[in-house]
Amino acid sequence: MKKKIRNILLIDDSKADNFISNRIINKAGVAETVTITYGAKEALDYLCKSTNSKFPKPEIIFLDINMPGMSGWDFLEEYILLDEAQKAGIIVCMLSTSSAERDKAKANEYEVVRHYSSKPLTQNKLLDIIKQHFPDYL
């Protein structure tokens, strides 16, 4: 591997899903840091602070759809309003239990969403995303 992803941000209210995704990422050895958030609001707050080393800006976001309070869709509506500098270089990937075509179609309506995949995150899915969007990293 040439270099690692600086930071991967997980946005999911499920501790179990975050644990599995974090473990897959760490076993693959592709990221310097994995930041875990348990809701969309927490993730947006993090992104607004991601201008220093204490809060490293993510290069990949794995976003769940169905979360209490603020859903993944609600997150995307707020995310697209962020300054371009805050979003620059970030690949947003929907990671959901939903295999409904309507959810996939809705995800495709958002220019910032680059992938839609079903849970759980696997090493193959992770490596495919990195190969496609960060070819110099592998």
- 138: pLDDT confidence band, cut at 50, 70 and 90? low
- 127: pLDDT confidence band, cut at 50, 70 and 90? very high
Task: Please compute the mean of the pLDDT values over residues 38-50 and round it to a whole number.
Answer: 92
3-state DSSP assignment of residue 50: coil
State the pLDDT at residue 96. Answer: 87
pLDDT digits (tens, 9 = 90+) for 66-123: 999 999 999 999 999 998 888 988 999 999 887 788 989 999 999 999 999 999 999 9
| Residue % of the chain over a pLDDT of 70 | 96
- Tell which CATH architecture fits domain 8-121: 3-Layer(aba) Sandwich (3.40)
State the pLDDT at residue 55. Answer: 73
Residue 37 pairs in a beta bridge with 11
- Domain locations in the chain as residue ranges: 8-121
Instruction: Give residues with Cβ within 8 angstroms of 110, minimum separation 6.
Output: 76, 80, 92
State the pLDDT at residue 49. Answer: 83
Residue 136 CB coordination number (10 Å): 7
**Which amino acid belongs to residue 65?**
I
